[in-house]
Amino acid sequence: MEIDKAIRECADSRLKTKYSNAISVIKRAFALYSIQEVALSFNGGKDSTVLLHLLRAGYFLHRAEESCSQDVVDGENTFPIRTIYFESASAFPEINSFTYEAAATYNLQMDIIRLDFKSGLEALLKANPIRAIFLGVRIGDPTAVGQEQFSPSSPGWPAFMRVNPILDWSYRDVWAFLLACKVRYCSLYDQGYTSIGSIHDTVPNALLCISDSNNSEEKFKPAYLLPDGRLERAGRAKKQLSSISNGLKFKDLNSDSVLTASVIAVGDEILFGTVEDKLRSFLCRKLHSIGWAVLLLAVTRNDVDSVAEEVERRKSTNDMVFIYGGVGPLHSDVTVAGVAKAFGVRLAPDEEFEEHLRHLIAEKCTGDKNEMAQLPEGITELLHHEQLPVPLIKCGNVIILTATNVAELDLQWDCLIESAKSNGDLVLMAPFVSKSLATTLSDVEIAQPLSKLRLQYPDMNIGGYRGSRKGPLIVRFEGKDPTRIEAASQSLCQNFHSGAFSQIE
């Protein structure tokens, strides 16, 4: 069989291992279900193309074992497995063309469904005795969360077994297989597309763009030249900020609403008083500088459950959660595991993140030996920047910072803001502005005028504090409108004699 032969003869040991594991999953499925009881879900994309050829090889090897012979060659192009294709009006014409060409080339028994995915499956399974469906799902796909290589369908869906032979494959593995086997794939991948959805939300990946000052027409390198597989979905159009994306609810930026954040520090050493945490105040100032309001500062123990409980509470009530501390190889570094538990997903090895770690700490980091290379499955996005040795980790609306001091945090923040301007990972709004007045008046004298101002200016934060018990009282006005801040401060001063307040720069 040409697929099996190509993999056996290639020099890529990683690909051989991935191939062998995938074939084992396929053989196991054939042992559990008859050929009439299984189906392939094919959409013309790179992942399902890999799956098609793995199934061809797996079926060939399964037949060879059943006949107790390794010389089964007749009917290599016979593929009796039912193939499901959901045809959509929003699909690229190239995807449709490639799908039907593949069907003709490999004699696929196609079931063309023009209903939505769920309704189509219900109708298909009602008419056919299908008990298991092979899917080209990989870790990192939105639908991969919580899935294993064999996973029953979700509650509320038709009952069938989801079989995921390439669940642990990376973007690199997919292209290594396609190129090693020299099989055809959709032509869009040679035009810079790296992840193909509908015609409404997919464009070529800008990271593959070939700049040519002499030619205004954009050209792109093929998908297999993308240097970082974690960025394969960079060609998918982002949703509008007024929608919900990755669990982050964005507010209408034209309204007067304010985006909110919580800051969580992880560390027993902070709770013991051994270490003074200077990162919280620094992060609060940075968030205020981009117009975000910080609703809560929290410190939690180095304990997975404690981290998970805090993150779970805050991620549903804030637009963004920033968490730092407890990231590393020690037994007490539980932040990433806590975040995964808060989202109800498992930790899984991440090949791309492992590569970054390997460049940083050499061969001391491997995916199956170092938990630093394991990230929350299916919800992780790596935030890259050329100045960062390791990308920041974003899970839904939670950003995990690895800074241990103010200088490191300053660098990570600057990189986060710079990338936010191009990819929208963090919404930048008008910054908060403030004015501070100092007075020797007592708290009792100033309490009632401040209370009235608070009612008059509900959009503004008005408060007071003292640096020391006998020091002056500092009254602080903070908001988004400098004119209203000035008006509020002048109104307060008019309640008292001239010279009662002095402005603090």
Whether the predicted pLDDT of 246 surpasses 50 = no
CA distance 357 to 376: 16
pLDDT of amino acid 245: 34
Greater model confidence, 431 or 349: 431
% residues pLDDT > 90 (the chain): 52
Q: What is the DSSP code string of 227-277?
A: S-GGGGGGGBPPPPTTSEETTEEPPPTTSS---EEEEEEE-HHHHTTSS--
Q: Read off the tokens for 16.
A: 């051989």
End-to-end CA, the chain: 78
Distance of CA 486 to the CA centre of its chain: 42
Neighbours of 337 (CB within 10 A): 19
At residue 115 the predicted structure's pLDDT band, cuts being 50, 70 and 90, is confident
The answer on pLDDT for 258 being more than 90 is no
Choose the weakest-confidence range: 71-85, 98-112, 220-234.
Answer: 71-85
The confidence band for 46, taking pLDDT boundaries of 50, 70 and 90, is: very high
Rounded CA separation 303/61 (Å): 48
Q: 68-77, 187-196, 453-462, 483-492: which has the minimum mean pLDDT?
A: 68-77
pLDDT score at 370: 59
**Mean pLDDT for the chain overall:** 85
Q: Give mean pLDDT, residues 428-447.
A: 90
pLDDT tens for residues 440-463?
999 999 999 999 998 999 888 898
User: What angle do the packed helices 171-181 and 13-32 form, to 10 degrees?
Assistant: 90
Most confident region among 89-93, 146-150, 232-236, 399-403 by mean pLDDT: 399-403
Query: In Å, what is the CA distance from 370 to each residue of 382, 418, 468, 479, 484?
Result: 18, 30, 48, 46, 54
Angle (nearest 5°) at CA 344 between 416 and 310: 65
Which amino acid is present at 93? Answer: P
Contact (CB, 8 A) for 167 and 154: no
Residues 6+ apart with CB under 8 A from 450: 462, 464, 475, 492
Answer yes or no: are the C-beta atoms of 462 and 447 closer than 8 Å.
Answer: no
Structure tokens given for 299: 């410190």
Domain ranges of the chain: 2-68+76-172, 201-231, 260-423, 433-504
Is 260-423 assigned to CATH 3.40.50.150? Answer: no
Residue 185, pLDDT score: 96
Highest mean pLDDT among 328-337, 387-396, 400-409, 466-475: 400-409
Q: Which of 3.40.50.620, 3.40.640.10, 3.30.390.30, 3.40.605.10 is the CATH number of 2-68+76-172? A: 3.40.50.620
Q: Identify the H or E element spanning 53.
A: helix 46-66
How far apart are the C-alpha atoms of 331 and 64, rounded to whole Å?
A: 48
Q: CB-based contacts of 311: which residues, under 8 Å, 6+ apart? A: 264, 321, 323, 338, 339, 342, 398
Q: Give the model's pLDDT for residue 215.
A: 64
What's the rounded Cα separation, in Å, for the pair 21 and 37? Answer: 22
Residue recorded with tokens 């008005």? 462
Strand partners, 347: 376
pLDDT digits 0-9 by tens, 280-320: 999 999 999 999 999 999 999 999 999 999 999 999 889 99
Euclidean distance between CA atoms 248 and 253, whole angstroms: 14
Which segment of 75-79, 183-187, 444-448, 466-470 scores lowest on mean pLDDT?
A: 75-79
Q: Which of 286, 476, 475, 500 is nearest to 399 (CA)?
A: 286
Tell me if 479 sits within 8 A of 485, measured CB to CB: yes
CATH fold label, 433-504:
Alpha-Beta Plaits (3.30.70)
Least confident piece of the model among 248-252, 421-425, 478-482:
248-252
Residue count (the chain)? 505
Q: What is the mean pLDDT of residues 29-55?
A: 94
Q: What integer is the mean pLDDT of 90-94? A: 91
Tokens 């990271």 -> residue: 207
pLDDT at 200: 83
In the predicted model, what is the mean pLDDT of residues 377-391? 85
Q: What is the pLDDT of residue 263?
A: 96
pLDDT(76) > 70: no
Q: Give the span between the Cα atoms of 208 and 227, in whole angstroms.
A: 9
Q: What's the pTM value of the predicted model, to 2 decimals? A: 0.56
